[in-house]
Structure 1
Amino acid sequence: MTAHDPVTPSAADAAQADPEQGADSAEVRALRERLETLLPASIADLKDLVRIPSIAFPGYDREPVRRSAEAVAELLRGAGLQEVVIESVQDGSPAVIGRTSAAEGRPTVLLYAHHDVQPTGDVEEWTSAPFEPEVRGERLYGRGAADDKAGVMAHVTALRLVGEELAADGIGVTVFVEGEEEAGSPTFRPFIEAHREALSADLIIVADSANWAVGTPALTTSLRGVVDLVVEVRALDHAGHSGLFGGPVLDALTQLSRLLATLHDERGEVAVQGLLRAEDPTVDMDEAEWRRDAGVVEGAELSGDGPLTARLWTRPALSVLGIDAPTVRDASNTLVPAARAKVSLRIPPGEDPDRAMEALVSHLESHAPATARVTITRGERGKPYLAKQGSPAMDLARESFAAAWGAEAVDTGLGGSIPFIADLLEVFPHAEVLVTGVEDPESRAHGIDESLHLGEFARVCLAEALLLRGAGALGRAGEESA
């Protein structure tokens, strides 16, 4: 959660840095030149993946998800992996596993990404069709272009670059491309337990995070966890005329709004008692740049206080994600009998999801109005993550990133959640996990006009190739722990 330099480099500084520093600059230069010849095909393959609307949410057609898995499987075969299969567990979406076994005594690296994507939202708000990839300037636009089909293609491109070297060196590579991450990875744990032997690795690289800025790489060293629930407020058994019955009865939507308003204090800080706060990071962000990237409306104040990075990474954050109630267009002059909301709570590293869930439920129950019936349905629980510092794999990643970008990597937290990392560490306790990614603050992952910076994509591919090439020196985790 700290940067090597308390003054983090800007994108402009990184762009001007010498990309070929160090004793191995000739090797880096050779890889960079070869990558230039491979990039057009990789970007074309990425566009083909983006064209597949692989939304794994309930209610969506499952055929595109299967088609996406098949496309990924073909890419892995073309990248030289010897064993490629499409698998799923009961009620799960198709995942792809591709493997090349390690030689005796040599380590195995597991490369993770996911091929499913978020729903598009209102397609009319997109500048170009979400599943018709379009290059505008230095960015490729389309749903999944960044999150996380670019992660898939970063793995494929790195293997195209150094796959033969890895095989000659006896380094094993397993690529695991999940098919339901955006839907909450509901069958992730049963899947990795069912395929424990095939997925066993010494080093796991999760390509599903973001870099500090265009031109400045990042290693994600902490992630917030998440808990969510649905709260329903019912005031009436059925709708009643607002003129005839309004007054003695407050409609359910008003009462739900009053209950939700208790979740924050007047400064916008989470008002749920008993939630943990981790230490403030030692690196912060430029507020003006962050406001621009987040799309904060002009003149609006930010909520809470303290460093931006603390508010984003190491403190709880609570959001109302949706409300079921009549739309303004369809509203009639009747009292709304019932309304419900989905509430999401991001929790910092060190917090226990079960404890956080109980704190949130307790708050809602203690603030429930006496004039309605409140029902709470508990939902997802995802653990936060805090990386192990000072490991050989972390050092190798920093060296690889510095060579690819010509700039020091910033150790960052991430306000988002990747709960399955805790599952990976529990099922494969001897493995080390590195969290990397292809996104940048302008990628708008999950949002309208999601995009990938193509220059950053090239740097990510080069950095991963260098990291894979150096993995042989890390040894085997099981042997080291023994």
Structure 2
Amino acid sequence: MPGSSPVICENLVRRAEEYIDSGAFFAELSAMVGYPTESAQPRSHLAVKAYLDEVLVPKLTDLGCSVAEYANPDPSGGPFLVGTRVESPELPTLLCYGHADVVDGQAGRWSDGRNPWALTADGDRWYGRGAADNKGQHLVNLAALRLLLAERGSLGFNLTFLFETGEEIGSPGLADFAVGHRDQLQADVLIASDGPRLDATTPTLFLGARGGVRLLLDVDLRPDAYHSGNWGGVLRNPATTLAGAIASLVDGHGRIQVPALLPSGLPDQVREALAGVAVAGSPGDPAPDEGWGETGLTLAERLYGWNTLEVLSLGSADIDQPVNAIPGRARAVLQLRYVAGTEVSRIREVIADHLAARGYPMVDVSVHSSFPASRTPPDDPWVHWARTTLEQATGKAVAVLPNIGGSLPNHVFTDILGLPTLWLPHSYPGCLQHAPDEHLLGTIAREGIVLAATLFHALGHRATDPPIPARIG
């Protein structure tokens, strides 16, 4: 670490590293992983409730927070937990966020007979469901706040910590909850942790998330299949029709063919933020395919600054046991991943009109799910403050991504609460977060808690250079 400065508290850094090295973090995370908080499973509500009451409430109380649990305005979602610590109305307020739920444990599919609900270490990899997404990440931030409070006796800022219990099922009710509790959740900045770093070794800030729209294309021409010899060349083949329709939307090299499905351009500030950002830099990452995706863009610009239209599934008849017949129906599920600024409110009509104009009016288009894109502008003063603070403290370059390629409910904080959003992830792209063998890297946890503690310390330190941005309003 560099020498002493207003950004760095050497005692805090040492205690943060000792917390990891001593095994205390592993033990704490092990207890958290033991709760099977699978939000997609109706039976999990008891585990979710226990996790809130037995794990998160005590941790928030230890931070001097008053804690309240709220029912979800959407009956398909679980409860919300809010911890609040007010040190002075004159101080800045930090909003933190985490999600208590995890995806299905997929027990029986983990390597070496691992139990998804028991944290196990294999070298630097700590395996367990939720280890990376999101229990390990919100533990890093809770522990960093706890260490800061122990070091200084105060945080130097006000704290609101919001936990939801349905992020893995699309955050039902979160937007409505934010609208209804806007005053309680009002803050100067969001600092939260979820998703991956750029790679395992690069400290990363990202500022938002791409949105997504899932589409079903259905070519349902007739209830029966007809002999391909007797009727070939006379009856329209729905599978051939569907293939042609998809190719008119996105070509065989991954390039979107409908201008309305593309962003208006790549903003200069986004291009500048992505300059020099390398993609697929971790061991085990797949190699990007030559000639795939939008031409004229770097890999980072395609992934973090542009839109993609992906075919998620495609089928007609029985691929494993085909018969000599023209099928009656073919279907495909596509997903548009899009950046902020893309207009998607009429996407069904746009695609249907495009297909009809190209001779495919028989392709039925429906939208099955969607989530919005959002980002904090890369030139926001809070971004400069966070990046400079972390780079001064670590002596390492910090990658700033305008958004991650995946999804998070960032729009709730930017669009509803009007906050600048700084996401400091404590995982990496190869963590297998939604698959068997999900794991957290111990080295990232160790560096992550130092980064988080450094950022929180700087937020509460009036003499920090650079200073925190001026309060608005």
On whether the aligned pair clears a TM of 0.5, the verdict is yes
Native 8 Å contact 1:235 1:373 kept in 2 = no
State the one-letter code of the partner of 2:2: E
Native 8 Å contact 1:134 1:141 kept in 2 = yes
Quote how far apart the aligned CAs of 1:423 are.
2.4
Native 8 Å contact 1:151 1:208 kept in 2 = yes
Quote how far apart the aligned CAs of 1:114 are.
1.4
Aligned equivalent of 1:86: 69
What percentage of aligned pairs have identical amino acids? Answer: 23
**Does residue 442 of structure 2 align to residue 454 of structure 1?**
yes
Quick one: which of 374, 379, 384 aligns to 1:384? 374
Alignment of 1:408-447 (within 5 A): 408-418=397-407, 420-429=409-418, 431-447=419-435
Quote how far apart the aligned CAs of 1:243 are.
5.9
Quote the Cα distance in structure 1 between the aligned partners of 2:250 and 2:107.
29
Render the CA deviation track for 1:242-263: whole Å, top value 9, x for unaligned.
5687634455445434433333
Quick one: which of 6, 20, 23 aligns to 2:2? 20
State the one-letter code of the partner of 1:111: C
Native 8 Å contact 1:352 1:383 kept in 2 = no
Q: Unmatched 5+ residue regions in structure 1?
A: 1-18
Quote how far apart the aligned CAs of 1:436 are.
1.5
Quote how far apart the aligned CAs of 1:327 are.
5.9
Native 8 Å contact 1:278 1:349 kept in 2 = no
**Does residue 214 of structure 2 align to residue 228 of structure 1?**
yes
State the one-letter code of the partner of 1:70: D
Quote how far apart the aligned CAs of 1:364 are.
4.3
Q: CA 1:477 to 1:38, structure 2 compared with 1: closer, same or farther past 3 Å? A: closer
Alignment of 1:393-404 (within 5 A): 393-402=382-391
Secondary structure of 2:369's match?
strand
Query: For the aligned residues, what is the CA RMSD?
Result: 3.5
Quote how far apart the aligned CAs of 1:82 are.
2.7
Quote the Cα distance in structure 2 between the aligned partners of 1:472 and 1:416.
31
Quick one: which of 449, 463, 467 aligns to 2:451? 463
Secondary structure of 1:31's match?
helix
Q: CA 1:398 to 1:325, structure 2 compared with 1: closer, same or farther past 3 Å? A: same
Q: TM-score, normalised by structure 2?
A: 0.83
Quote the Cα distance in structure 2 between the aligned partners of 1:468 and 1:417.
26
**Does residue 36 of structure 2 align to residue 53 of structure 1?**
yes
Quote how far apart the aligned CAs of 1:115 are.
1.9
Quote the Cα distance in structure 1 between the aligned partners of 2:132 and 2:316.
33
State the one-letter code of the partner of 1:309: A
Aligned equivalent of 1:262: 248
Quote how far apart the aligned CAs of 1:463 are.
1.7
Quote the Cα distance in structure 1 between the aligned partners of 2:316 and 2:118.
33
State the one-letter code of the partner of 1:105: E
Q: CA 1:439 to 1:29, structure 2 compared with 1: closer, same or farther past 3 Å? A: same
Quote how far apart the aligned CAs of 1:278 are.
1.5
State the one-letter code of the partner of 1:66: K
Quote the Cα distance in structure 1 between the aligned partners of 2:391 and 2:17.
19
Quote how far apart the aligned CAs of 1:316 are.
0.9
State the one-letter code of the partner of 1:319: E
Aligned equivalent of 2:91: 106
Quick one: which of 108, 113, 116 aligns to 2:101? 116
**Does residue 332 of structure 2 align to residue 341 of structure 1?**
yes
Quote how far apart the aligned CAs of 1:413 are.
3.5
State the one-letter code of the partner of 1:303: W
Secondary structure of 2:292's match?
coil
Quote the Cα distance in structure 1 between the aligned partners of 2:130 and 2:92.
31
Q: Which moved more, 1:213-222 or 1:118-127?
A: 118-127
Quick one: which of 84, 91, 97 aligns to 2:82? 97
Aligned equivalent of 2:460: 472
Quote how far apart the aligned CAs of 1:307 are.
0.8
Alignment of 1:131-146 (within 5 A): 131-146=117-132
Quote how far apart the aligned CAs of 1:166 are.
6.6
Quote the Cα distance in structure 1 between the aligned partners of 2:194 and 2:61.
22
Native 8 Å contact 2:237 2:328 kept in 1 = yes
Quote how far apart the aligned CAs of 1:48 are.
2.8
Aligned equivalent of 1:6: none
State the one-letter code of the partner of 1:54: T
